[in-house]
Amino acid sequence: MAYDKELAAAIKAASLAARLCRGLCGFQKVQKALLQSDVRSKRGRNKSPVTVADYGSQALVSFVLQQEFPGEFSLVAEEDSIDLRKDGGGEIVERITKLVNESLTSDGSYGVSLSSEDVLKAIDSGKSEGGSQGRHWVLDPIDGTKGFVRGDQYAVALALLDRGNVVLGVLACPNLPLTSISVAHPHSPNNEVGCLFFAEVGRGTYMQLLDGSSTVKVQVSAVENPEEASFFESYESAHSMHDLSSLIAQKLGVKAAPIRMDSQVKYGALSRGDGAIYLRFPRNGYREKIWDHAAGSIVVTEAGGVVTDAAGKQLDFSKGKYLDLDTGIIVSNQKLMPLLFDAVRASLAEKAKPQP
């Protein structure tokens, strides 16, 4: 089954949201302003930051998708409007509404101006639980909010589930250079910045600039020798145990230092061959959410890569908001994957041994 209309809508929605986050008119006024203000904390133990851009991105994506598919709409997304509806939230809601309407005006497709209540309802449309029946959009409006606040890597990550299977994914990466990043030059200065990756099941993975130009098909690295491979891991140590990743790399024979980046940008970079391995081993008690991996996983697999948990099982997105995983997530090309799996298994066993 082709998903051409759905993919076009997803690209449009993610691109508009990425432009909202990056700022209009070619400079990052939104991001720079948010570095000074508008950073709040999410409810829960981790107290990770939420910005106006998270909410604005979710409202914008939700609105665009509902306009394109008004009949049946289900969205599994990270944010809700509970904090925004509390006393004192009115000014921030007005700011979000202004940003969303500016983005819609710049696009010119819909000819509407949303009220603050419209925006709050759009944010709250992301309360679906997902599951194995029907179609569900899956959104992380800003994957890597801490990276966004630092001015580093983040992504708007949007995917579509059809009966529990990821059938398309879009990663809009406003701070990712168009050409390859490396350990030596992870930010590639003096390069065009702002990429979008998109993939549809059975049709491959493509990369383009955020403005839609320079579209090319991408493939994962063909490296077969682990000594020549480089690997990605999360910037935040809470999202991946760096000591375990280091042990795995040592057993595998990887010589390069890790490239540490926030968000599913790592999936996009790996899909075009910037690195050959991605290791993610969260600390005990952390539950992986589907919006953190749905778009990225299909972007990599359609580029010829392999994405599994530490036991070698495919990721299952049909169980609701969370992924039931064995220990962590490993990503590589088909040649390296058996060697990587052996190194992971040996490293986990070594870590599990009682210390003398």
Residues annotated as catalytic (active site), given as ranges: 54, 145
243 labelled ligand-binding: no
83 labelled ligand-binding: no
298 labelled ligand-binding: no
248 labelled ligand-binding: no
**Three-state SS across the chain?**
CCCHHHHHHHHHHHHHHHHHHHCCCCCCHHHHHHHHCCEEECCCCCCCEEEHHHHHHHHHHHHHHHHHCCCCCCEEECCCCCCCCCCCCHHHHHHHHHHHHHHHHHHCCCCCCCCHHHHHHHHHCCECCCCCCCEEEEEEEEECHHHHHHCCCCEEEEEEEECCEEEEEEEEEEEEECCCCCCCCCCCCCCCEEEEEEEECCCCEEEEECCCCCCEEECCCCCCCHHHCCEEEECCCCCCCHHHHHHHHHHHCCCCCCEEECCCHHHHHHHCCCCCEEEECCCCCCCCEHHHCHHHHHHHHCCCEEEEECCCCECCCCCCCECCCCCCEEEEECCCHHHHHHHHHHHHHHHHCCCC
Give how far Cα 237 sits from Cα of 185, 241, 282, 283, 349, Å: 21, 6, 8, 9, 21
**Positive or negative torsion for Cα 182, 187, 193, 196:** positive
User: CA-CA distance, 278 to 275, in Å (whole number)?
Assistant: 8
- How large is the greatest C-alpha to C-alpha distance in the chain, in angstroms? 69
In terms of phi and psi (left: phi > 0; alpha: psi -120 to 50; beta: otherwise), the region of 285 is left
292 labelled ligand-binding: yes
Q: Which residues are annotated as a binding site for Mg(2+)?
A: 78, 140, 142-143, 292
Annotated binding site: 78, 140, 142-143, 292
